[in-house]
Amino acid sequence: MTAVPINAPAAVVRLRARPVPVTLAAQLLRRPAAVVSLLVLAGLAVLAVFGPALAPHGAEDQDYANILAKPIWDGGTWTYPLGTDELGRDLLSRMIVGSRTALGLAFAAALLTGVVGTALGLLAGLYTRVVGPVIMWVVDAQLGFPYLVLALALVAARGPSLSTVFLVLALFGWVQFARVVRAEVLRVKTADYVLAARGAGASDLMIVLRHILPNVLSTTIVVGTFTFSAVLLVESGLSFLGAGVQPPTADWGAMMAGGRVFLNTSWWYSVVPGVMVVITVLAVNTLGSAVRSVLNPREAR
Q: What is the pLDDT along the chain (301 residues), one digit of tens a residue?
A: 444 444 444 443 343 444 456 666 778 788 888 899 999 999 999 999 998 899 999 999 999 999 999 999 988 889 999 999 999 999 999 999 999 989 998 999 999 999 999 999 999 998 888 898 999 999 988 888 877 788 888 888 887 878 888 888 888 788 989 999 999 888 888 888 888 888 888 887 888 888 888 888 888 888 898 899 988 998 898 888 888 888 888 999 999 999 988 988 899 999 999 999 999 999 999 998 888 888 765 554 4
Residue 22 has a pLDDT of 66
Tell me how long the chain is.
Answer: 301
Q: What is the biggest distance separating any 2 CA atoms in the chain, rounded to whole angstroms?
A: 85
- Nearest-angstrom CA–CA distance, 39 and 55: 20
Under a CB-based contact definition with an 8 Å cutoff, are residues 102 and 47 in contact? no
Determine how many CB atoms are found less than 10 A away from the CB of residue 191.
13
- Nearest-angstrom CA–CA distance, 40 and 44: 6
The helix, strand and coil proportions of the chain, stated in percent and rounded to the nearest 5, come to: 70, 0, 30
Residue 18 has a pLDDT of 45
pTM, entire model: 0.82
The alpha carbon of residue 284 and the mean position of all alpha carbons in its chain are separated, in whole angstroms, by 8
Residue 14 has a pLDDT of 40
Cβ burial, residue 229 (10 Å; 0-12/13-18/19+): buried
Residue 21 has a pLDDT of 60
- Nearest-angstrom CA–CA distance, 142 and 147: 8
Residue 166 has a pLDDT of 86
Q: Which residues contact 115 (CB under 8 A, 6 or more apart)?
A: none
